[in-house]
Amino acid sequence: MAYDSLAPRKPFVARGSKIERCSGCFLPAQSCLCSDKPNVKAAAVFWLLTHNDECYKPTNTGRLIVDAIQGSRVFKWSRTNPDSDFISALSDQRYAPCIVFPSGDGYQQRMVESAALSGKTPAFIILDGTWRQGPGVCSD
């Protein structure tokens, strides 16, 4: 997802809001990573499912995955109005979508083995955001 300077969002007024930032990686200009970002072709893609407010935060490290691995994408999540592109991506027969989550008791029957992907490209879905604004608990 490219940065949209016209997208409606709350102003960033947290600590560091007065620092001059790179428009590509949102890091402080003197720490810009844009020229050092790899462009990796991998056997898998990553889909970052994120809250609208998280997309433009300078501390969003999930964006680094999407910027570095070819074919990876960002989808904005709204519980009541899911991104139609995300719904379409889930139905795309080229991919085997897998949600990334911590392991735990009772999850073994839901774990994916690489043989179960049957030649499809793994699409690892990463839920990105803070606990209060994360994809599963946003207020809209």
Residue 45 neighbours by CB distance under 10 Å: 21
pLDDT in tens, 87-123: 999 999 999 998 887 777 777 776 766 545 678 899 9
Residues of the chain with pLDDT below 70 are: 1-17, 55-59, 110, 112-117, 129-140
What pLDDT, on the 0 to 100 scale, is given for residue 47?
A: 93
% of the chain surpassing 90 pLDDT: 21
In this prediction the pTM is: 0.69
Residue type for position 70? Q
Dihedral, 89, 85, 67, 78 alpha carbons, nearest 10: -110
What pLDDT, on the 0 to 100 scale, is given for residue 134?
A: 47
pLDDT in tens, 114-128: 545 678 899 999 887
- The single residue listed with the structure tokens 């991919």 is 95
What pLDDT, on the 0 to 100 scale, is given for residue 92?
A: 95
DSSP line for 2-32: ---TTS------STTTTS-B-TTT-SBGGG-
What the block records as the tokens of 33 is 């990573």
Instruction: Give every CB contact of residue 62 below 8 A, 6+ residues apart in sequence.
Output: 48, 50, 54, 126, 128
What pLDDT, on the 0 to 100 scale, is given for residue 4?
A: 61
Interatomic CA distance for residues 122 and 110, integer angstroms? 15
